[in-house]
A and B are shown apart, each in its own frame.
Chain A
Amino acid sequence: MFDFGIVTKWLDDLLNSVMPGWLTTTIECVLVAVGLLVAYSLIAMFYIFYERKVCGWIQCRLGPMRVGKWGLLQVFADVIKILQKELITLWHTDKFLFKLAPYLVLIASMLTFACLPWGRGLQIVDMNIGVFFIVAVSSIGVLGILLAGWASNSKYTLIGAMRSGAQMISYELSCGISILTIVCLAGTMSITGIVEAQADGWFLFKGHLPAILAFIIYMIAANAENNRGPFDLPEAEHELTAGYHTEYSGIHFGFFYLAEYLNLFIVSGIATLLFLGGWMPLHIPGWEGFNNIMDYIPSVVWFLGKAFFITFIFFWIRWSFPRVRIDQMLALEWRYLMPIGLVNLVVMAIIVTQGWYFGA
């Protein structure tokens, strides 16, 4: 399988040979930032299109069909439209916080996005506490949402923000615990380390029941973290019109929208990384021919393919289930998910220490 590390190393060496070290670093940082921004916006646009089509399919519709072939240009049209829109600021709002909020949400998702392992050797920084970093920076988002709700000075947004705060902080626990379970199995927090550890079998299959349980808990909690149905209470269109971002318009609203879709990709990416072997191809022990063919598929395709598949499950859930109520949402977390998650973590620790997992 092709290792992208060769390309990046070659570029690094090339730059270093013609210019001083600090300039190399600067240029590389700029390149990475540009690359990230491009990937970020492209993926967001793809996801918007993807969700519209999947949602249309589930609801016996066609989805957008008018702009471009199969409606392919619809998203571009929407982006142009949203860029042209006026940024409306209301009276009696805290203007600074009001404008800061969408950027906070965007920054949080951007930082997390930067940590994903895209393919073999295709990663920005490989920190030894990579997973911990992801969990840490992804929590900044809730601050943006709370600020948005608070600074808008509207009753709807305030209720939306309160719900969001309660929800995201609660479900972060379950999310964290299920991630810990896998860290326990992998024995490392480094993202590359976790992926490498799944070379001979994905954790979902390797880790017995605790891994499967952790996967289910993660899927539920991640859905809630993302404020997506059935946990879309902070937005709850039918109750709060649009929840915390009711008062936002134009590109400020666009940022929330963008971040929401990107967060969807990020949680799918993390699920891929933790449970489905990241960019690792599917290997079945003993089937050498099959494994060789799988190796020919580029690692980026593997990663994106798995992430899109997980996203499809999220879409499926969102468009099938009704919304839960705030008390039910909190009860689900504190009475069921978290206790189960904690027990699961202990069980996983026992399995790891006893060496009962597959391929031990």
Chain B
Amino acid sequence: MAEIENKITQLCPQAQVDTTGEFPLVTVDDAQWHDLASALKNQLHYDVLSAVVGMDWTDSFGCVYYLTNTSTHELLHVKVATTDRENPRLHSVCDLWPVANFQEREVYDFYGIVFIGHPDMRRMFLRNDWVGYPLRKDYDPASNPLRLEDETNEDYTCRWVEDENGKVKKIDGKVFEDDEYVVNVGPQHPSTHGVMRYRASLDGEIVKKIDVVSGYIHRGIEKMCEDLTYPQMLLYTERMDYMAAHINRHCMCMCVEKALGLEVPRRAELIRLMMDELMRLSSHLLSYGCLTMDQGATTAFFYGFRERELIYDIFDRTCGARMSMSYSTIGGVVADVHEDFVKDVRHACDVIEKALKEYHKLFTGNVIAVNRMTGVGILSKEDAIAYDITGPSGRASGWHCDVRKTNPYSLYNEFDFDEIVYENGDSMDRYMVRMKEMEQCIKILRQACDKLEAEGLQGEYCAPKVPKLMKLPAGHWYQQVEASRGAFGVYIESDGNTKPVRVHFQSPCFNLIGVVDLTCKDNMIADLITITASLDFVIPDIDR
């Protein structure tokens, strides 16, 4: 910790480093921020911008940037603020970490902070005619009554640039040129997997550029959370990536437990871990189904769904629900597992293990499937890191980014499993990583079954001393887990009350849409579908 402090003060003497929290906190002025950022990236290997959290501290606006070191997997966060409430401006770090492109657009959308040097300063989720910035503390909801007319296509974008004298100037630009053949894909489209919309500029069958238009199911979960108590907030975590419901909820629970200093019973943690892995298995089964169906192999889709039912039956028996299980809770899990839980899990593992062979037989070796996926939508390792593409998609590019391995949480340390990493980063590899990961899920689940049997099928499932009225001490916390589609992060900032000041969810799918344009460019329309299916994003997780 002290070492990092020294290094950073050497790089930037004006920066203040605080190493008392869970991660080192660097506070820096906007004027030095870009230089420090570039030094952190180039000299200290903080290659990954894991999260950008927009903030309104009532006296100032700003961002908290979470950076990850790719060699040591350590996290660090940087606080940058501006006191100008009229025209809040920060310097963009888009040029260093391309993932900041969409992240900063989101911050602009909610806080109105303009990023100098950002190439495309448009709103991310909200309508173009939205008045004000909703996550500001002084935002008045009455300023945006329900609109009954359609939103018009906004082809104009702008960027702010700073000249040598420090004067900031706005430059207008266009998203698409007038003579481009722009095809609208979505928001209602069979293979966008939800209400997602792309505007694709085509040259014949070739895709030239893709503009991602998000926000069709944006529910403002982060804003809503500011008005909820911590146990209430848990409910929303499952409604982001519903294919990682347990995992997201687990993450939120861990973050609150960390803040409260709550000890979770080992048995509860084991049950949570099993649920997480079952969830991952079901998610990858669905992903297999959707990927195959998007390429026209409808039968494979049903095969994936058939086995997924087994897992949902397990959820049904233990949690009483199939989709939004609401099972984890702060301090443990809501109820003990069903008496046949272990038996059911073992059965599901056996069936799925056998079914996986069938899947490969039906689809993986098929000459059309191989030709459709091999070499299509290549994402290099450098790009995966720069765009913070974690999860199976990142590992397909050769990046060791499994949070279960890099920053083990829960009981993952005790389990023997492999991190599946491929090299090429094409659609085929992304597909294969998921297929292989399912085998690892089964491996973990079997070990967990043994442990649960050894430690008692019934027993303590929740911490006995969970406060009824939950008040987090003043401060902020960040917790990451490996969700089905990548690293999922929860940021909570509290002022000591029952309700948080700010909650931010760093969803893996949000980063995934950042590479749609990069990977689809100069491929065909059919490849667009293959690539987006192999990236496998869930729309509610993007929109939140």
Contact = CB atoms under 8 A, between A and B. Distances in A.
Contacts of A58: 299
Interface stretch (B290-298, B336-344, B381-389): B290-298
A234 interface: no
Given A59-B302, A155-B183, A322 B292 contact: yes
Contacts of B372: 322-325, 328
A204 B235 CA distance: 65
Contacts of A61: 302
B94 interface: no
B191 to A, nearest CB: 4
A212 interface: no
A236 B190 CA distance: 10
A69 interface: no
B165 interface: no
A155 B190 CA distance: 16
Given A238-B295, A238-B296, A322-B366, 6 more contacts: A60-B302, A320-B297, A322-B372, A323-B368, A323-B526, A325-B371
Contacts of B292: 322
Interface string B296-312: 11110011001000000
Given A159-B205, A239-B191, A239-B529, A325 B302 contact: no
B96 to A, nearest CB: 36
Interface residues on B, range: 20 to 34
Interface string A327-346: 11000000000000000000
Interface residues on A, range: 20 to 34
Dominant secondary structure of chain A at its interface with chain B: loop
A324 B294 contact: no
Contacts of A325: 371-372, 524, 526-527
A239 B372 CA distance: 14
B27 to A, nearest CB: 49
A232 B526 CA distance: 12
Identify which of A58, A240, A321 gathers the most chain B CB atoms within 10 Å of its CB: A321
B362 interface: yes
A238 B529 contact: yes
B115 to A, nearest CB: 34
Given A155-B181, A322-B369, A238 B524 contact: no
A326 B526 contact: yes
B216 interface: no
Contacts of B190: 237-238, 241
A322 B297 contact: yes
A4 interface: no
B310 to A, nearest CB: 14
A180 B295 CA distance: 34
B262 interface: no
A229 interface: yes
**Ranked 3 nearest A-B pairs via Cβ:** A323-B296, A238-B191, A322-B295
A269 interface: no
Nearest to B294: A238
B189 interface: yes
A322 B189 CA distance: 19
B296 A230 contact: yes
B363 interface: yes
Dominant secondary structure of chain B at its interface with chain A: helix
Nearest to A321: B368
6 contacts: A59-B298, A156-B183, A159-B205, A230-B296, A237-B190, A241-B189
Nearest to A324: B368
B525 interface: yes
B302 A321 contact: no
Given A155-B181, A321-B297, A239 B525 contact: yes
Contacts of A236: 296, 526
Nearest to A231: B296
Interface string A210-238: 00000000000000000001101100111
A319 interface: yes
A239 B526 CA distance: 6
Nearest to B362: A320
A324 B371 CA distance: 8
Interface in A301-329: 319-328
Contacts of B191: 237-239
Contacts of A155: 181, 183-184
Contacts of B526: 233, 236, 239, 323, 325-326
A58 B529 CA distance: 25
Nearest to A58: B299
A326 B530 CA distance: 14
Interface in B168-223: 181, 183-184, 189-191, 202, 205
B205 A322 contact: no
Contacts of B369: 322
A29 B293 CA distance: 47
Nearest to A238: B191
B324 to A, nearest CB: 26
Nearest to B291: A322
Interface string A227-260: 0011011001111110000000000000000000
A321 B363 CA distance: 8
Contacts of B297: 320-323
Contacts of B368: 230, 321-324, 328
Contacts of A241: 189-190
Interface string A21-63: 0000000000000000000000000000000000000111100
A163 B524 CA distance: 13
Nearest to B205: A326
A322 B300 CA distance: 9
